[in-house]
Amino acid sequence: MRIDIITVLPQLLESPFSHSILKRAIDKGLVEVNLINLRDYSTHKQKSVDDYPFGGGAGMVMSIEPISNCILSLKKEREYDEVIYTSPDGEVLNQRISNKLSSLNNLIILCGHYKGIDQRVRDHLITKEISIGDYVLSGGELAAAVICDSIIRIIPGAISDETSALTDSFQDGLLAPPVYTRPAEYNGWKVPEVLLSGHFAKIEDWRHEQSILNTKARRPDLLK
Ligand code: SAH
C-alpha cells in the first residue's frame, strides 16, 4: 500500500510515522508513506499556496493551482483508489471506513489549512472527504495521521499478534472488554477470578459478556 500525504507542514507529520506500529509497518515494507510539500508545486516566487477569499471575509483560502499541479503529477505516475480531503464536514471516520481504506493500494490524503481549500478542488479532484470528529482543527495533518494510523495498524502483519487488531473495539460491532495484567492484587483491588482460572472457554465467554455490558452502558447505538 502507498499513501501520499499532501501538506504545507510535512515536519508536523514526521513523528507519527517514526514510532511503534506505523514505523514497523513501513520498515517491513507493508506500506509506503510519502510526505509531499505542497509548496514544491507553487509557481509563486514566495512559494505561497493560499490567497484572499473571493467575496471578502476572514482567513485565507488554499489555492487550486498548486493542489491541482501536485495531484496531477502524482496521478501521472500511478492510479489512485481514492483522493481524500480531510475536512470537518466530511464523512465521520469509523472502523468500517478504515477497514475499507486499508484494503486499497494507492491513496492520496490532502491536508487543508487556513479557512479551507478552494471548493473547485473538492468538486473536481477529491473523491472522498473524511472528518475525524465534530470539532475544528488548525490543519488536516493530525487528521491525516489519525486516518493513517487506523488504516495501517490493521494491514495484516503490521501488528505482530495478528488477532490483536481484530479483537479491538468496533471490529465486531462491540466495545472491547476490560483488560488486566500483573499483579493479580494491588491495594486490595483484585483481577476478576475467571481470568486467573486458565479455563479458555470460560474466559472467552466472560470477555464476550463484558463486551456486551460495556457496549450497552457506553454505546447502546452500536447494538442497534
Ligand atoms: N473553515 C473550515 C475549517 C478549516 S480548519 C470550516 O469551518 O469547516 C483547517 C483545515 O483543518 C481544514 O481545511 C481541514 O483540512 C482540517 N480539519 C479541521 N477540522 C477537521 C476535522 N474535524 N477532521 C478532519 N480535518 C479537519
Please write the tens of the pLDDT for every residue from 144-160: 999 999 999 999 999 98
Query: Do 183 and 146 share a structural domain?
Result: no
Domain annotation covers residue 157: no
| Residue-wise burial string across 139-174, b where 16 or more C-beta atoms lie within 10 A, e elsewhere | bbbbbbbbbbbbbbbbbeebbeeeeebeeebbeeeb
- pLDDT score recorded for residue 162: 63
Nearest alpha carbon to residue 98 among 153, 17, 156, 31: 153
Query: Do 179 and 98 share a structural domain?
Result: no
CATH number of the domain within which 83 lies: 3.40.1280.10
Of 117, 152, 187, the residue that ends a domain is: 152
Query: Do 176 and 126 share a structural domain?
Result: no
Give the number of the atom of ligand 1 that is nearest the alpha carbon of residue 115. 1
Domain annotation covers residue 65: yes
- pLDDT score recorded for residue 167: 84
Domain annotation covers residue 74: yes
Query: Do 147 and 217 share a structural domain?
Result: no
Query: Do 148 and 182 share a structural domain?
Result: no
Assigned C-alpha cell, 131: 472528518
For every residue of 165-176, which 3-state class applies, written as one string? HHCCCCCCCCCC
Query: Do 131 and 181 share a structural domain?
Result: no
How far does Cα 217 stand from its chain's mean position?
26
The CA-based angle 121-61-10, given to 5 degrees, is 80
Residue 84 CA to ligand 1 center (angstroms) comes to: 13
- Residues of the chain with pLDDT below 50 are none
Question: Which residue range forms the structural domain that includes residue 213?
Answer: 169-223
Give the number of the atom of ligand 1 that is nearest the alpha carbon of residue 62. 13
Query: Do 57 and 20 share a structural domain?
Result: yes
State the pTM of this model: 0.96
Instruction: List all residues whose CB is within 6 A of at least one atom of ligand 1.
Output: 86-89, 111-113, 115-116, 131-133, 135-137, 139-140, 143
Domain annotation covers residue 77: yes
Query: Do 126 and 197 share a structural domain?
Result: no
Query: Do 124 and 210 share a structural domain?
Result: no
Query: Do 106 and 72 share a structural domain?
Result: yes
CATH number of the domain within which 216 lies: 1.10.1270.20
Residue 138 CA to ligand 1 center (angstroms) comes to: 7
Of 124, 152, 180, the residue that ends a domain is: 152
Domain annotation covers residue 162: no
Of 152, 184, 212, the residue that ends a domain is: 152
Give the number of the atom of ligand 1 that is nearest the alpha carbon of residue 116. 13
Domain annotation covers residue 89: yes
Domain annotation covers residue 205: yes
Q: What is the DSSP letter of 44?
A: S
Query: Do 33 and 131 share a structural domain?
Result: yes
Question: For the chain, how many structural domains are there in total?
Answer: 2
Domain annotation covers residue 164: no
Query: Do 40 and 69 share a structural domain?
Result: yes
